[in-house]
Chain A
């Protein structure tokens, strides 16, 4: 996802950019390497990264929310909230809506990933449920506010979907703010937040892999469950998140 958005940023600034699949592949590998470096060499700084990611996420939400509401031309309430389109060719609007649920589902899953870190927590039985509840509630509110904002500032849906950047939300920011610099900054905030997500994902997925291998549930368990004696890092599991 991050690779695709960075490609969209390049296309936004250079009109003659040609999309190639290997660009996205290499960008994704770069982001992945950055995440792995943060989890191995800079592993002690992981709590600082997580704290910083929280601040960027919180402040970044307002940095995108406020400009869109102030600057963008808004649709009427009837068009924003009550107009539905069925472009997929399915037989009814309801069926189309249910299939379209797959996209918002990605914002509803993943709250359990923090459980994989519970072996490294103090007093995990009490801290973990509180952490999950504190994640779900604000994210639900922010997500709802952002979706309503996007509905109101969308403009013409087909035109936004046909953007040369191949990321509709970049086109929405550009149409809304009317400023190339502003759009670059707002998309960069999104890219930074998603990169912090990548770092957390590598952390949590490597711990899940390692603990499953420790219980000998995977092929190659004996190789994966090795903990380095000197750095207490799980090198093999981290290389294969």
Chain B
């Protein structure tokens, strides 16, 4: 239903729809960046990782670092407009949308989420 509403934005302005489409790529890249950074931080500085059945072994940390190196320029360039000169029609508005969603999500977490949200890792029972 939300997707139907999003598609109806196309009736008003295709610029907004393009911004939302590029926002999808940016959001996924950000989520990859956060999860892989957590892995790298744990491997370098923190407690050992949770037990797992399938592992790359010693290649793991290097795969993670290589992934971060690839993700960073992709994420940065995903915000750029496609062509110059940049007008309100050709601008890539995903930067504005991404910032707005981050601000709203942070406010929601600060006001409500931090009292009720339990992360999934806390609840998973490891059966090896």
Interface residues on A, range: 35 or more
A217 to B14 Cα, complex, angstroms: 31
A106 to B21 Cα, complex, angstroms: 10
Partner of B73, one of A3, A98, A217: A98
Query: Would you give the shortest CB distance from A204 to chain B, in whole angstroms?
Result: 12
Partner of A29, one of B7, B82, B83, B116: B7
Query: Would you give the shortest CB distance from B1 to chain A, in whole angstroms?
Result: 5
Main secondary structure of the interface of B (DSSP, over half): helix
Chain B 106-128 interface 0/1 with A at a Cβ cutoff of 8 Å (1 = within): 00100011001111100000000
User: For B54, what are the chain A residues with a Cβ–Cβ distance below 8 Å?
Assistant: 125-126, 129-130
When the two chains form their complex, are residues B11 and A32 in contact, meaning their CB atoms are under 8 A apart? no
Among A69-77, A84-92, A135-143, which stretch is in contact with chain B?
A: A84-92
When the two chains form their complex, are residues B10 and A105 in contact, meaning their CB atoms are under 8 A apart? no
When the two chains form their complex, are residues B3 and A216 in contact, meaning their CB atoms are under 8 A apart? no
Given contacts A112-B32, A215-B119, contact A125 B53 (CB under 8 A): yes
> How many A-B pairs fall under 8 Å by CB?
82
Partner of A21, one of B10, B52, B113: B10
When the two chains form their complex, are residues A21 and B14 in contact, meaning their CB atoms are under 8 A apart? yes
Interface core residue of B4, B53, B84 (most chain A CB under 10 Å): B4
Does B65 count as interface, using CB distance less than 8 angstroms? no
Residue of A nearest to B14 (CB): A21
Query: Would you give the shortest CB distance from A183 to chain B, in whole angstroms?
Result: 25
When the two chains form their complex, are residues B10 and A32 in contact, meaning their CB atoms are under 8 A apart? no
User: For B11, what are the chain A residues with a Cβ–Cβ distance below 8 Å?
Assistant: 21-22, 25
Interface residues on B, range: 20 to 34
When the two chains form their complex, are residues A216 and B116 in contact, meaning their CB atoms are under 8 A apart? yes
User: For B4, what are the chain A residues with a Cβ–Cβ distance below 8 Å?
Assistant: 29, 32
A215 to B4 Cα, complex, angstroms: 26
When the two chains form their complex, are residues B32 and A25 in contact, meaning their CB atoms are under 8 A apart? no
Task: List residues of chain A with CB under 8 Å of any chain B CB.
Answer: 3, 21-22, 24-25, 28-29, 32, 87-90, 98-99, 101-102, 105-106, 108-110, 112, 125-126, 129-130, 211, 215-217, 219, 221, 239-241
What are 16 of the A-B contact pairs (CB < 8 Å)?
A: A28-B7, A29-B4, A32-B3, A88-B83, A88-B84, A89-B84, A98-B73, A99-B77, A102-B77, A105-B25, A106-B25, A109-B32, A110-B28, A126-B53, A216-B118, A240-B1
